[in-house]
Chain A
Amino acid sequence: MEPVDVELKDGELELPTDSMLVQMGPSHPAMHGTVRIVVELSGETLTKADVQIGFLHRGFEKMCERGTWSQCLPYVDRLNYASPMLNNVGFVLAAEKLLGVTVPERCQHSRVALSELARIADHMVCSAAFAMELGAFTPFLYLTKARELIYDILEEETGARVTHAFARIGGMAAPPSDDFGQMIRDAMPSVMQLVDDTEALLLKNRIFLDRVEGLGVMSQKDAIALGWTGPVLRSTGVPYDIRKAHPYLTYDQYDFDVPVGSAGDNYDRFMCRQAEIRQSARIIEQAVAQMPKSGPVNIDDPRVVFPPKDQVHNTIEGTIRHFKLVMEGVELPAGECYSYSEASNGELGFYILSDGSGTPWRVRIRPPCFACVQGLEQMITGGMIADVVPAFGSMNMIGGECDH
């Protein structure tokens, strides 16, 4: 080491010009979902970025091959843990596609309403964390409060606040409660008021706008090339939404818009999510209005649907069916299928392969985040290190689904 008290003239003082390697994450408050970004810095400018995923890999696909089809549901709950209901519905849609069955209308509306509640909750988590990472703590509290109102409804309906495991192949675990519509009508004004308040706090805030506008830009062409879907793709101006492009459940019966951005920057991604919250609220309103008050929720096939509990406890037929469905599982016909639905982050696809038994032969997920995170390197390279946080935050990477 050089002695520090050497007398130096100003001209002789030189800062090192070597680039510096910094590891952001995997355990870093801004790296939600445990991801590591190894960045090469020249001063505060990123000259290189290496996004490393996989820290939350749990072998979910392999675990599915050990149980029955129904036992996959708790696993898929934990893919995108910010909106488990969307994963649940996406998975059972895949199984139902292979079975070749369609659930009754009441169930479809119920699934839509619960899914859209989950979508709102998911978008609010993303926006809340996004704002908080930029130093705005109040919006985080507002949106978390709004999310609690939605979780209250989900808890009332499914019995669990976060991981519900509520969907079933051929129906739902329980029919919608009598108060379902009323609970939603009671809660939604407060939820939307909190969303409005959040925006009022942020959208005229110079600090917030300076850090989101024109930063983390992704071009429309590159977004499509990278396989982006969902709000991040729509923020670049592509109006692709599976609910509109390939309607499933009863989405073709509702009146709603697909909000799109234009610049593909942090601001547009944030605003797309905010706009989608409002569209989801419209869908929910229509879904609960159109949902029949009574009628079957599950399909009429005892080989697929679990018998009601009173039959399980009181009749031998119910006992045997329950036993067989639990021990051996729903037997999906041998074959394969790919089923996709619009999850909160984009196209959530399940490729499932059955050998005709009650146990999956192969379950493969196409997580929307996985494609999105591929674009992160391109978005942050050349920018400032401080801009990594909003760019990453606006992407809403969820480790559970990205890392399978």
Chain B
Amino acid sequence: MAEGTITIDGREIPFEKGETIITAARRAGIEIPHYCWHPGLKAPASCRMCLVEIEPPPGRPAMMLDILAWDEDQHDYTVVKKPKLMPACQMGCADGMVVHNTTSKEVEKARAAVQEMLLLNHPVDCPICDQAGECSLQDNLVAHYDYDKRMVDEPLHKVKAVPFSDDIVYDGERCIRCTRCVRISRDLAGDPVLSVRERGNHSEITVSPGRQLDHPYALMTANYCPVGALTPTHFRFKTRVWFLRSGLTLCQGCATGCNAYLDYDPRTNQPYRFRPRENEQVNQFWMCDEGMLSYPESQSGRLLTALVGGDDATMAEALQAAKKQLKGCEDEPERTAIVLSA
């Protein structure tokens, strides 16, 4: 039930009780750029990419902050005022709220600054990174950042290709510490095996001592990693994502029938991976590891010949066997059930 409406960039959209700006915007088809926020997880508001400008309520002064800005005329930093921006992923909607997402200069500047900061120590890895082509850093750089790199120092170097388990490999240099993987492990899998250690530039994701990232939703951490920091070993260096095409499918691993995308190479029809597909009624955003790794079964191990009791048989023999088993069913058709399965 709509609780009221908010206005984003001049467009009025309804919101439901308890919704944040980014959730209401997403339902209305407005994309607010983000890294750390995910609709299925709690919002830490740590990446600051979704900052928006919110107009003060009528009759109230705007919340302004003092900041230092470079003044070209005086050739010095001077104190100027700037409206305080709010993270759209944590800010709840209130009726009549006026939000500026793409129409605010301050928001543009803030997003460019966030983007610049995230890339300060990022390695030049796109050519060897599996995420290239579906990376949020790439998309947001082109959309929100239009000046050259200003940092001239040697970037910070961190751990690379750390196996978190047999299935997941971690790259500290690419990681932007959005903590999605931490929250997936803690909130979805209920196994807080990942955490952030160190602070600032030096912070990185780490596995609890003596443990491995081996809970049944470990592949979800790699799947929802917005950058190339967590990569699944089964997909690592196998192909490039722009060669792949996605087909809509269901996971056949169990009766849940999780909605999924099957990514395959149209040139060879070889499947490369599953990706969970959002379905509120079935699997929300998630899939378990066993299901995620069952993608080869869409091609190999398909039942192509008849079997009787597990043994190879010709079609005629199979029909004969079926006829034998169904004998007598015509007397009690209401007590007969046949299960067909793909």
Chain A interface (Cβ within 8 Å of chain B)? 301-303, 311, 313-321, 323-324, 327
- Give residues 104-135 of B contacting A (CB, 8 Å): 119, 122-127, 132-133
User: How many A-B residue pairs lie within 8 Å, measured between CB atoms?
Assistant: 45
Q: A311-B149, A317-B141 are in contact. List 19 more A-B contacts (CB 8 A).
A: A302-B148, A303-B146, A313-B124, A315-B148, A315-B149, A316-B122, A316-B124, A316-B149, A317-B119, A317-B145, A318-B149, A319-B126, A320-B137, A320-B141, A321-B141, A321-B142, A323-B132, A327-B133, A327-B242
The distance in angstroms between the C-alpha atoms of A303 and B138, with both chains bound, is 12
Taking the nearest CB of chain A, how far is it from the CB of B137, in angstroms?
7
Q: Are A320 and B142 in contact (CB under 8 A)?
A: yes
Closest 5 CB pairs of A and B: A315-B149, A316-B122, A319-B126, A320-B138, A324-B142
The distance in angstroms between the C-alpha atoms of A313 and B149, with both chains bound, is 13
Query: Main SS of the interface on chain B?
Result: loop
Partner of B138, one of A313, A314, A324: A324
Q: Are B146 and A316 in contact (CB under 8 A)?
A: no
Q: Which residue of B lies closest to A300 (CB)?
A: B146
Contacts of A311 in B (CB 8 A): 148-149
Taking the nearest CB of chain B, how far is it from the CB of A313, in angstroms?
7
Q: Which residue of A lies closest to B174 (CB)?
A: A316
Q: Are A316 and B126 in contact (CB under 8 A)?
A: yes
Chain B interface (Cβ within 8 Å of chain A)? 119, 122-127, 132-133, 137-138, 141-142, 145-149, 242
Q: Are B126 and A317 in contact (CB under 8 A)?
A: no
17 inter-chain pairs at a CB distance below 8 angstroms, sorted by A residue, are A301-B146, A302-B147, A303-B142, A303-B146, A311-B148, A313-B124, A314-B124, A315-B124, A315-B148, A316-B119, A316-B122, A316-B125, A319-B124, A320-B137, A320-B141, A323-B126, A324-B141
Taking the nearest CB of chain A, how far is it from the CB of B201, in angstroms?
15
Q: Are B137 and A317 in contact (CB under 8 A)?
A: no
Q: Are B138 and A323 in contact (CB under 8 A)?
A: yes
The distance in angstroms between the C-alpha atoms of A320 and B122, with both chains bound, is 11
The distance in angstroms between the C-alpha atoms of A126 and B126, with both chains bound, is 48
Q: Are B133 and A320 in contact (CB under 8 A)?
A: no
Q: A327-B133, A327-B242 are contacts. A320–B146 as well, Cβ < 8 Å?
A: no
Contacts of B142 in A (CB 8 A): 303, 320-321, 324
Q: Which residue of A lies closest to B121 (CB)?
A: A316
The distance in angstroms between the C-alpha atoms of A301 and B125, with both chains bound, is 24
Q: Which residue of A lies closest to B143 (CB)?
A: A303
Contacts of A327 in B (CB 8 A): 133, 242
Taking the nearest CB of chain A, how far is it from the CB of B213, in angstroms?
26
Q: Which residue of A lies closest to B127 (CB)?
A: A319
The distance in angstroms between the C-alpha atoms of A311 and B148, with both chains bound, is 9
Q: Which residue of B lies closest to A331 (CB)?
A: B142
The distance in angstroms between the C-alpha atoms of A311 and B152, with both chains bound, is 12
Contacts of B126 in A (CB 8 A): 316, 319-320, 323
The distance in angstroms between the C-alpha atoms of A321 and B119, with both chains bound, is 13
Q: Are B127 and A317 in contact (CB under 8 A)?
A: no
Contacts of A318 in B (CB 8 A): 148-149
The distance in angstroms between the C-alpha atoms of A303 and B123, with both chains bound, is 21
Which of A301, A311, A319, A327 has the largest number of chain B CB atoms within 10 A? A319
Which of B119, B133, B141, B242 has the largest number of chain A CB atoms within 10 A? B141
Contacts of B148 in A (CB 8 A): 302, 311, 315, 317-318
Q: Are A302 and B146 in contact (CB under 8 A)?
A: yes
Which of A301, A311, A319, A320 has the largest number of chain B CB atoms within 10 A? A320
Contacts of A324 in B (CB 8 A): 138, 141-142
Contacts of B138 in A (CB 8 A): 320, 323-324
Q: Which residue of B lies closest to A315 (CB)?
A: B149
The distance in angstroms between the C-alpha atoms of A317 and B148, with both chains bound, is 7
Contacts of B145 in A (CB 8 A): 317
Taking the nearest CB of chain A, how far is it from the CB of B50, in angstroms?
20
Q: Are B149 and A317 in contact (CB under 8 A)?
A: yes
Q: Which residue of B lies closest to A308 (CB)?
A: B148
Taking the nearest CB of chain B, how far is it from the CB of A83, in angstroms?
35
Taking the nearest CB of chain B, how far is it from the CB of A385, in angstroms?
53
Taking the nearest CB of chain A, how far is it from the CB of B175, in angstroms?
14
The distance in angstroms between the C-alpha atoms of A321 and B124, with both chains bound, is 12
The distance in angstroms between the C-alpha atoms of A319 and B127, with both chains bound, is 8
Which of B124, B132, B149 has the largest number of chain A CB atoms within 10 A? B124
The distance in angstroms between the C-alpha atoms of A174 and B122, with both chains bound, is 29
Q: Which residue of A lies closest to B135 (CB)?
A: A320
Q: Which residue of B lies closest to A311 (CB)?
A: B148
Which of B126, B137, B242 has the largest number of chain A CB atoms within 10 A? B126
Contacts of B137 in A (CB 8 A): 320
Contacts of A313 in B (CB 8 A): 124
The distance in angstroms between the C-alpha atoms of A318 and B127, with both chains bound, is 12
The distance in angstroms between the C-alpha atoms of A155 and B48, with both chains bound, is 50
The distance in angstroms between the C-alpha atoms of A294 and B126, with both chains bound, is 33
Which of A303, A311, A313, A323 has the largest number of chain B CB atoms within 10 A? A323
The distance in angstroms between the C-alpha atoms of A311 and B141, with both chains bound, is 15
The distance in angstroms between the C-alpha atoms of A302 and B148, with both chains bound, is 9
Taking the nearest CB of chain A, how far is it from the CB of B112, in angstroms?
11
Contacts of A321 in B (CB 8 A): 141-142
Contacts of B149 in A (CB 8 A): 311, 315-318
Q: Which residue of B lies closest to A312 (CB)?
A: B124
Q: Which residue of A lies closest to B155 (CB)?
A: A316
The distance in angstroms between the C-alpha atoms of A230 and B127, with both chains bound, is 47
The distance in angstroms between the C-alpha atoms of A263 and B64, with both chains bound, is 77
The distance in angstroms between the C-alpha atoms of A321 and B242, with both chains bound, is 16
Contacts of A316 in B (CB 8 A): 119, 122-126, 149
The distance in angstroms between the C-alpha atoms of A390 and B173, with both chains bound, is 69
The distance in angstroms between the C-alpha atoms of A195 and B146, with both chains bound, is 50
The distance in angstroms between the C-alpha atoms of A313 and B273, with both chains bound, is 31
The distance in angstroms between the C-alpha atoms of A314 and B147, with both chains bound, is 15
The distance in angstroms between the C-alpha atoms of A343 and B197, with both chains bound, is 64
Taking the nearest CB of chain B, how far is it from the CB of A353, in angstroms?
23
The distance in angstroms between the C-alpha atoms of A318 and B122, with both chains bound, is 12
The distance in angstroms between the C-alpha atoms of A313 and B124, with both chains bound, is 8
Taking the nearest CB of chain B, how far is it from the CB of A236, in angstroms?
50
Taking the nearest CB of chain B, how far is it from the CB of A71, in angstroms?
14
Contacts of B133 in A (CB 8 A): 327
Taking the nearest CB of chain B, how far is it from the CB of A340, in angstroms?
31
The distance in angstroms between the C-alpha atoms of A316 and B123, with both chains bound, is 6
Taking the nearest CB of chain B, how far is it from the CB of A315, in angstroms?
4
Which of B133, B142, B242 has the largest number of chain A CB atoms within 10 A? B142
The distance in angstroms between the C-alpha atoms of A313 and B125, with both chains bound, is 10
Contacts of B124 in A (CB 8 A): 313-316, 319
The distance in angstroms between the C-alpha atoms of A314 and B126, with both chains bound, is 12
Taking the nearest CB of chain A, how far is it from the CB of B156, in angstroms?
13
The distance in angstroms between the C-alpha atoms of A138 and B228, with both chains bound, is 65
The distance in angstroms between the C-alpha atoms of A302 and B119, with both chains bound, is 16
Taking the nearest CB of chain A, how far is it from the CB of B153, in angstroms?
12
